[in-house]
């Protein structure tokens, strides 16, 4: 008896997905314009129009105005901090994840604690970081590293523990032992799941960065939100939120593309 496998559903074409995303963005802008410029549901100082927010973005990036160039400077500072914090978090997470996967006692103790700490919002660690490090950049980096390394460590540990037993047996049959077995067999076998953890870690680190900058005195996108609040500029607040969302989305998309390519190479996804 011949078994007929169901056909693999075709993935939506990338062009069509981009078209739908563009239409969704256009609808949001139209609804925003109608609510603020046509119906005038709220005063401009409460809910500014898209034009006012765009002016804040242009002033902050390349124009002249109250926040001339400050938004661009803030983007640079935030990217520098998140790059340092994320790199340290990934390196620390990979090491801790390897230890958790190979040491049962450590996994049952430290692993459980990390899972509990991960459920604490990053903003809750900011007061501790400020009291411990002071109102400086180290406090922000501490929060970014803390929020970034835990997802990587848990993802690496989980991925290594879920490597199919057949792959382990094959590696040992070929004579691989110890650290070479881990680096040459286990890590490559679990790479797709590790990359998923890296993407989650990026999201956590980026949000932790904004929260840390918001409550400390370091120039950055989070501090731009605080400037907008102190000056009563809702347009600046919305402009900064949009910039934060765009940067976070771009980096997430880059890691997602890398993850998808690795999954296809491992035969975990089928291209339409």
What pLDDT does residue 1 have?
43
Question: Span 225-252, mean pLDDT?
Answer: 92
Structural domain spans, the chain: 45-266
Q: Is the pLDDT of residue 101 over 60?
A: yes
**pLDDT band, residue 237 (cuts 50/70/90):** very high
Q: Place domain 45-266 in its CATH homologous superfamily.
A: MetI-like (1.10.3720.10)
pLDDT tens per residue across span 121-149: 888 999 999 999 988 899 999 999 999 99
Contacts 24+ apart (CB under 8 A), 222-226: 222/78, 223/74, 224/60, 224/67, 224/70, 224/71, 224/74
Give the number of residues written for the chain: 272
pLDDT tens per residue across span 208-228: 999 899 888 788 999 999 999
What pLDDT does residue 106 have?
87
pLDDT tens per residue across span 47-69: 999 999 998 888 888 776 555 77
Helices assigned H by DSSP within the chain: 14-33, 50-61, 70-102, 104-106, 112-118, 126-133, 137-161, 165-173, 178-181, 187-215, 221-230, 234-265
């Amino acid at each position: 008896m011949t078994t007929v496998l169901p056909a693999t559903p075709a993935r939506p074409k990338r062009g069509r997905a981009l078209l739908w995303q563009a239409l969704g963005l256009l609808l949001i802008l139209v609804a925003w314009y109608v609510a603020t410029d046509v119906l005038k549901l709220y005063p401009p100082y409460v809910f500014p129009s898209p034009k006012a927010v765009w002016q804040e973005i242009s002033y902050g990036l390349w124009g002249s105005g109250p926040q001339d160039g400050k938004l661009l400077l803030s983007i640079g500072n935030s990217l520098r901090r998140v790059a340092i914090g994320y790199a340290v978090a990934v390196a620390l997470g990979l090491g801790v994840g390897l230890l958790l996967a190979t040491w049962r006692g450590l996994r049952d103790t430290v692993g459980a604690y990390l899972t509990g700490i991960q459920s604490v919002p990053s903003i809750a660690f900011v007061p501790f970081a400020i009291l411990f490090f002071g109102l400086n950049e180290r406090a922000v980096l501490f929060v970014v590293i803390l929020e970034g390394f835990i997802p990587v460590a848990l993802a690496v540990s989980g991925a290594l523990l879920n490597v199919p037993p057949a792959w382990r047996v094959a590696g040992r049959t070929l004579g691989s032992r110890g650290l070479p077995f881990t680096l040459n067999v286990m890590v490559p076998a679990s790479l797709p799941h590790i990359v998923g953890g890296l993407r989650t870690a990026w999201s956590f680190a980026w949000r932790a960065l904004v929260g840390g900058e918001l409550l400390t005195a370091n120039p950055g996108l989070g501090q731009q939100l605080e400037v907008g609040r102190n000056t009563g500029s809702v347009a600046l607040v919305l402009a900064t939120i949009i910039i934060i969302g765009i940067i976070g989305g771009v980096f997430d998309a880059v890691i997602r593309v890398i993850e998808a390519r690795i999954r296809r190479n491992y035969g975990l996804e089928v291209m339409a």
